Structure 1
Amino acid sequence: MKLTGLLASAAVVGGLTAGAIGLSATASAQPGWQPPPVPPAGPNTGQAPAWAPPQPVPPLWAQGNPQVWDEGWQHWGVWLNGVFIPTY
């Protein structure tokens, strides 16, 4: 009976010690995941650079709106009802 009590006490003390060590390790850990930088707020239309892919064929859903180059995201897109839709 004494051996059982001794083993139970050792298990409890060991568990508390392991918990304290884990808690102290967590408190001193380095910062975790950092969110990626925020992309540009909106399209910044301009001239396509020389390395840019050629302007794609206008999609049928563009309703005749011209495609423009977005300098922030570096791709082609169409303005439709005040919303910029990338067409790559």
Structure 2
Amino acid sequence: MEITSLISALIIGLVVGGLGRLVVPGRQNISTLMTILVGIGAALAGTLLAGAFGVADTDGVDWIELALQVGLAGVGVTALSRRRSRQRH
């Protein structure tokens, strides 16, 4: 992974966190900061997975990579939200 890919993954992570939160139904009891951090982690993991599968370097928008990132963010938001709701009860 090149430094430009890392920086773009971090910037995209901000957006991916919000999209990940939108694809999860219901109310999530996590802060905006945690959503952003989940998005950054999901963006990095999605970029690495897309590179491993060989779908990261395409002409135009890498839709498969973006779908991986948003899916991972949704899983992360769900897991974190459930974990926090268990701690409160």
Task: Give TM-score scaled by structure 1 length.
Answer: 0.25
Report 1 or 2 for greater relative contact order, CA contacts < 8 Å, sequence distance ≥ 6: 2
Larger Rg: 1
TM (normalized to structure 2)?
0.25
Q: Which one has a larger percent strand, Structure 1 or Structure 2?
A: 1
